[in-house]
Amino acid sequence: MGGWLRTVWRLRVGRAVSSEPAFALMLVAPTLILLLLFGVFPIGYSVFVSLLQWRLNIPGVPTFIGLGNYARMFHDPVFTASLGKTLYYSVFAVVGTIALGLATALLLDRQDVKGKAFLIAVLVVPWAVPRVSAGLMWKWIYDGNYGILNATLLHLGLIHQYQWWFTGSQWVALSLVALTQIYKDSPFAAMLFLAGLQTVPVHLQKAAMMDGATRTQRFWFVTLPSMRFVLLAVMILETTWALKTFDLVYVLTGGGPGNQTMLTYMYVYRQAFSYLDVGYGSAMAYFVTFVVFVVAFGYYRLAGHAG
């Protein structure tokens, strides 16, 4: 800072920030401006866009159609089908991530397990790998012509010939995509759970042991309740991540084959940025936003009851 700047700073800003609230406001101002200009304003603007028939690739003026895009949504079979797929996908990913994350954390937390530093390093790897890279490698594993999943299953005698996993049942296809999400997200969940396990009061564990509680009982009645907040945090994170999953689906299936794995979020992207139907895309984006917030609020209420 130059000398004159410093003087201005002292005289003007220095005096203004002498009160705590003013100082605090100055510190949050950059993020606040960023949020207003590029968060609040765009979202307001897109309310307006969602009421228009507006395709960027078709010349012409956008026309006002009121709630037309919202009505269209519920008559669009791809969209309505995507809702069930998204629900299935999210439940699968959340349950899988919590189960694998918790199991990993419990194993790492054992006194008699050695090599924890190595195991933690192992967890960091899939967490850091970009979703696109993870998607590509799982796509190669699942490949119908040369994939090692086929080779392994054939070798074990579980299948009789190579399969194209995404073209059969949509539930199989969705499960396989969700499995990659579990692969990507459960390491972070495990780290959070491991941290949560450190907060379980030792005296409670001891007391339960004295009262003759079995290991299973202690897990359900002492360990889990003590880490309910971490559990809830992982549930919220993973649910919103699953509802907003994009990279993995984009790379693994692109929503196909056909619309087999067209999750709602992916469909919004397709409409808005592949077909450039920004009006319809905005309306659907609003619907997704609404669902995400309802779910987040539901968890929030759950947290209130738990606490």
Partner 1 sequence: MTRRARSSAAARVERGLAYLALAAIVTFFLLPVLWMAITSVQPYALLTAVPPRVSFAAATGQNYADLLGDPKFRRAVTATVVTSVLSTVLALLVAIPAGYATGRLRFAGRAAYLFSILTVQIGPAVAFLIPLFLMMQRFGLIDTYPGLILVFVLFVAPVAVWLLRGFFAVLPPGLERAARMDGASRWRAFYQILLPLGTGGIWAVVLLIFISVWGDLLIPLVLSFSRVVTLTVVASGFSGEQNINYGGASAVAVLSALPAVILALAFRRHLIKGVTEGAVKQ
Residues 178-237 touching partner 1, rule: CB under 8 A, are 183, 187, 191-192, 194-196, 198-199, 229-230
Q: Can you name the residues that pair with 53 across neighbouring β-strands?
A: 63
Which of positions 65-104 make contact with partner 1 (CB under 8 A)? 100, 103-104
* Of the candidate residues 31, 169, 214, 217, the single one contacting partner 1 (CB under 8 A): 31
* Of the candidate residues 6, 11, 38, 298, the single one contacting partner 1 (CB under 8 A): 38
Which of positions 1-20 make contact with partner 1 (CB under 8 A)? 14, 17-18, 20
Q: Report, in Å, the least distance between residue 104 CB and partner 1.
A: 5
Contacts of range 284-293, beta carbons closer than 8 Å, 24 or more positions apart: 284/69, 284/73, 284/79, 285/46, 285/50, 286/46, 286/47, 286/50, 286/70, 287/70, 287/73, 288/243, 288/244, 288/264, 291/243, 292/240, 292/243, 292/244
Contacts of range 139-147, beta carbons closer than 8 Å, 24 or more positions apart: 139/251, 139/252, 142/166, 142/176, 142/252
Q: Which of residues 88 and 127 has its CB atom nearest to partner 1 in the complex?
A: 127
Which of positions 243-282 make contact with partner 1 (CB under 8 A)? 243-244, 246-247, 250-252, 254, 265, 268-269, 272-273, 278, 281-282
Q: Report, in Å, the least distance between residue 67 CB and partner 1.
A: 17
Q: Which of residues 110 and 203 has its CB atom nearest to partner 1 in the complex?
A: 110
